[in-house]
Structure 1
Amino acid sequence: MRIIRYCLPAALLLVTASCSGNSSGGDPPEVTEAAPARVRRITRAEYDNSVYSIVKNPTPVPMAQLFAPEDTLLGFTTHDRLQVTPLLADQLDSAAERNWGPVAVNNLASEYECAAGKSEEDCARAFIRVLGARAFRRPVVADEEKDLLELWNAVRKDTSPKAAAEYVIQAVLTSASFLYRTELGESGAPANQVVWLTQQEIASSISFAITGAPPDAELTAAAAAGVLKSADVRESHARRLLKTKQSQQYLQRFVIEWLGLSGLESLNKNNQVFPDFSVAFKDSSRRETLTFIDHVLANEEASIKTLLGADYTFADGRMSLFYGTTLTPDGTIGRVPLPANRVGILTHASVLTTYALFDSSSPIRRGKFVLTRLLCREVPPPPPSIIIIPPAVDPTSTTRARFAAHTNNPACAGCHRDLDPIGFGMEDYDGLGKYRTEENGLPVDASGSVVTEDGTHPFTGGAALARFLSESPDVANCVPLQLFRYVMGRDEDTVDARTLEDMRRGFRADPKLKLGDALVALVRSPYFVHRRTTSPE
């Protein structure tokens, strides 16, 4: 029997229109403007986290990483334009049928098995309500219960309650109400009105914003009690969740996507130019960066100042030797001091390699990286008439000289006036991230400058740039915006100005610049828990 798949957002909107009530007393909204109501598809990581909570699997397996990957918008895979494509729908069906259905039906036996003397249909109905509430992050509505009970009875005619339960589980795990999160608000309001999100929607929004996972028992209970309209209550749950392993994993994904490091496993370099490069080097540099990020999140309170300005890293023997620092024992990775020519994650080999070319460094890529990801400055695409081909490697010249001549075109000057001085100032690292003072027998000129709100700041070398950025007010303003885009899954709009102001104030309140403070400020914002109703199509 083929499982009925409920994976169209339109179908979800029809269901939620009748069930998003939970008005909690119909309190008037706290704001007069809000972002539009919407539904959002969960990401692959959110799928895994959600399935673990539904099937109660004690040994989580990251099954969703085998699904079709998400594209990126604004640099993040968490955007609200994700859909269930035909390919993904087939993969979801297969995972539910071959993997999670069989696992869940064994783990959840106590929830669907019926005690002697009880009506089996009543037991099935109770199971559907409990399972559906966990999966849909809200109570199951009548139409959903009816459809799932019909499925149970159809399977049960020819087989066991266990088989019927497995089919119900598969249907739930491929339904729109599971795969899409709602931000529709309390029901009954006319179109184009600002309304509170329902208590269950607030609980989901808090949990996904802090952990990338569905609400836990405490948040679910708070929603049932109707107390999540209180900013103080929301903050208490946010701070509690920030201490969890799931939150650390969620923030690790943010840092990786924010800094554009998702492709570390696929990096490749010309061995003739960079003899140090190998699969082992790539793995060592990737492990260094991930270990360092995890350390900052777990032990340095997710401090961006430490991430950008630390005087240490976590390296194995290969990376220790590459950096010229204290050697770690063979086969182990440990904390080592960075030499004076390196500061924080920006001078990690993995980052410098990412923002370089196959056979050389790239001042343009490095400059654009700093401008767009750390300073939140837009860099427009080059004019259509410009041929984007990097200058050929010249063994008699430096990279700086080659690129300076290449970008001296008047049509390019507008963008390269800001890009090049940053990238040129990082020329003391080659395309593999190795420190250098000479290139092709010529002295390396690593003088550069970066333009911020308060003027132009000269520097020499990537370490000096990293120190400057770790203290820069412009970076402190940019990081909350990047975090907003990651969490909310969209670009900022005029209605978000107050929220971003609060996030930035909370972020800058502590000299460490802690990500958790920005998230708490977001969750406290009244704009976080309100939406504007949309007109019916």
Structure 2
Amino acid sequence: ISEAQGNPPREALERVIREEFSRACGRPITKDEFPKYLAFMERNLAQGGNEAGLKTTLLGIYLSSEAVYRIELGRGPADEHGRHFLSPQEIAFALSYALTDSPPTNNPIIKKAYDSKKLSNKAEVEKVVRAMIAAGAPPIRKHFPASAFHRMIQEGEHGFGYYPRIVRFFEEFFLYPRAEGTFKDSPGPGMGGRALIGAPQGHIAAIVNEDTQVLEELLSSPRFNNSRIQLLKMVDERYAKKLKTQPKEKADAWRADMIKKSNKLTDDTFRAGMLHDLSWLITHSTNDQNDPVHRGIWIRTHLLAGNVPALPIGVDAKIPEDHDKPLRQRFEVTKAKECWKCHKHFEPLGMPFESFTDRGWVRTGMYYHKKQRRFETMLTPDKIKSGLEKGELIEHPFDTSGKITGTGEVGIDGPVKDANELVTKLARSTRVRQSIIRHCFRYWMGRNEMLSDSKTLIDAEKSYLDSGGKFSELLVSLLTSDSFLYRK
């Protein structure tokens, strides 16, 4: 068009408008819209010439409200309450971006339903949602960790747990990707950033894809143990699958190699659920010690649906830097009346994680090194024995007790002896389940819940419970609810 001598061919103008509108708005231009944009382009070409007129027209398309914003005003028919059902076009976009990062034109399931005019009621929407869940998405195969164990976890199986928006929900909920940017200045072995993020991502996707008691599994599953037992179990499962697609000699060689690598791992069995994963523990820690405050705040706000009072002005929220005292002893200052009125809401929830070091490893002992003036948490038995005999080390007991409050549930509220008992109780809590469902609502609706959304939340929990803890049914309930499909 810009190089044409005189007026460009009409066919070229029409093609540009159709292609650029589809690219900018993610949908084909309608019969009513097309004449307006064609007249707009012809006027621009006449007034500014071919090149300037083309640029102005493209600016008009790409700066239109629909290109800049996702419009969900409810262009469908109104019901007796004055609520407007989303139009098929709005539903197509809402469903596509509820699970993927692509417009509906890139999703064959949604595109087929939209083109067939089958996005006009709840039943048709539910059919599309179930089809998308059944179709699933391929595993995230990038930034693989070097560790064979963590690589195997991340590789995973095809399923709806790998849809980008589902992956992102759990990233935003647990905040585990932040672990990669947490600098550690404490002694002890570290873990590569790719393994730190890839392993929990693989575990979460596997739990979602298995689709049984998902929320409980996320909080208490033993699969989060970085142990030889877990690896060998996964090796046997993969070996059985490889025998179906590869020669037996090749599968046997792979299995032998993995068993050899597994000998480097311990038989850790203490961990249970995502809150025991290294990524969550490191995310909620400082560069050289555990952080019971922010761990407790996270549990109080995310799992127990509670609020934490804001830090009063003028309060210097610091604990003493006594390098020869364990963290719990240094936190004794928070028992003062003016401190405890806030700390009582989160500190007892965060202290059980003293079961782990600040690097997320299961704590086996706590020894103060007098010469280096720091606590050593990852010493071999030989070094511990030698250090104690020479008087270089002082052994300190570590207290992992805590307390759950605020659920109002018998058998849940009360003292806990360590982090394992803490998460096991939380996983059984009705309040915790409802709190996670509330966070699901906020994520997929893009807003906080209101009193008028109570039926949506009740129905979502009922769908989850009646299905045996299926996250897929929870999603279907939310994405076909009045809160999702109606606007007022």
Distance in 2 between residues matched to 1:386 and 1:281, nearest whole Å? 37
The AA in structure 2 aligned to 1:413 is W
Distance in 1 between residues matched to 2:23 and 2:459, nearest whole Å? 32
The alpha-carbon distance between structure 1 residues 185 and 283, as it changes in their structure 2 partners (threshold 3 A), is: closer
Q: State the partner residue of 1:353.
A: 282
Q: State the partner residue of 2:222.
A: 311
Task: Return the offset for 1:158.
Answer: 5.5
Q: 1:186 touches 1:196 (CA, 8 Å); kept in 2?
A: yes
1:407 to 316, 331, 334: 334
Q: Percent identity?
A: 24
Q: 1:311 touches 1:338 (CA, 8 Å); kept in 2?
A: no
Distance in 2 between residues matched to 1:152 and 1:295, nearest whole Å? 55
Q: State the partner residue of 1:17.
A: none
SS at match of 2:353: coil
Q: State the partner residue of 1:98.
A: none
1:504 to 449, 455, 461: 461
Question: Which has a greater percent of helix?
Answer: 2
2:435 to 452, 466, 478: 478
Q: State the partner residue of 1:526.
A: 482
SS at match of 1:504: helix
2:67 to 168, 178, 181: 178
Residue correspondence of structure 1 range 198-347 to structure 2 within 5 A: 198-215=87-104, 216-242=107-133, 243-245=135-137, 248=162, 249-270=164-185, 273-277=186-190, 280-300=191-211, 303-313=214-224, 339-347=268-276
Aligned length: 396
Task: Return the offset for 1:283.
Answer: 3.6
Q: State the partner residue of 2:294.
A: 365
The alpha-carbon distance between structure 1 residues 330 and 132, as it changes in their structure 2 partners (threshold 3 A), is: farther
Q: State the partner residue of 1:37.
A: none
Task: Return the offset for 1:428.
Answer: 0.9
Q: State the partner residue of 2:245.
A: none
Task: Return the offset for 1:171.
Answer: 6.6
Distance in 1 between residues matched to 2:261 and 2:479, nearest whole Å? 40
Structure with higher Rg: it is 2
String of CA shifts for 1:145-200, please: whole Å, max 9, x gaps.
644775589689667xxx96x9977875565312311111127989x942222121
2:447 to 469, 490, 509: 490
The alpha-carbon distance between structure 1 residues 189 and 487, as it changes in their structure 2 partners (threshold 3 A), is: closer
String of CA shifts for 1:445-504, please: whole Å, max 9, x gaps.
111121213151322222222222222222211111111111111111122111111112
The AA in structure 1 aligned to 2:202 is T
Long gaps (5+) in structure 1: 3-118, 321-326, 533-537
Q: State the partner residue of 2:401.
A: 447
Q: TM-score, normalised by structure 1?
A: 0.64
The alpha-carbon distance between structure 1 residues 527 and 188, as it changes in their structure 2 partners (threshold 3 A), is: closer
SS at match of 1:411: helix
Q: 2:272 touches 2:420 (CA, 8 Å); kept in 1?
A: yes
Q: 2:44 touches 2:56 (CA, 8 Å); kept in 1?
A: no
Residue 514 (str. 1) matches residue 470 (str. 2): yes
Task: Return the offset for 1:255.
Answer: 0.3
Q: State the partner residue of 1:62.
A: none
Q: 2:83 touches 2:487 (CA, 8 Å); kept in 1?
A: yes
Q: State the partner residue of 1:385.
A: 314
The AA in structure 1 aligned to 2:165 is Y
The AA in structure 1 aligned to 2:98 is A
Task: Return the offset for 1:354.
Answer: 0.9
**Larger RCO: 1 or 2 (CA < 8 Å, sep 6+):** 1
The alpha-carbon distance between structure 1 residues 470 and 147, as it changes in their structure 2 partners (threshold 3 A), is: same
Alignment RMSD = 3.9
Distance in 2 between residues matched to 1:195 and 1:205, nearest whole Å? 15
The alpha-carbon distance between structure 1 residues 330 and 130, as it changes in their structure 2 partners (threshold 3 A), is: farther
Residue 429 (str. 1) matches residue 362 (str. 2): no
Q: 1:308 touches 1:344 (CA, 8 Å); kept in 2?
A: yes
The AA in structure 2 aligned to 1:398 is P
SS at match of 1:245: coil
Task: Return the offset for 1:134.
Answer: 6.2
Q: 2:113 touches 2:119 (CA, 8 Å); kept in 1?
A: yes
SS at match of 2:354: coil
The alpha-carbon distance between structure 1 residues 133 and 287, as it changes in their structure 2 partners (threshold 3 A), is: closer
The AA in structure 1 aligned to 2:326 is T
The AA in structure 1 aligned to 2:445 is M
Residue correspondence of structure 1 range 91-130 to structure 2 within 5 A: 120-122=9-11, 124-125=13-14, 128-129=17-18
The alpha-carbon distance between structure 1 residues 189 and 239, as it changes in their structure 2 partners (threshold 3 A), is: closer
Q: 2:227 touches 2:266 (CA, 8 Å); kept in 1?
A: no
The AA in structure 2 aligned to 1:238 is V
Distance in 1 between residues matched to 2:209 and 2:439, nearest whole Å? 20
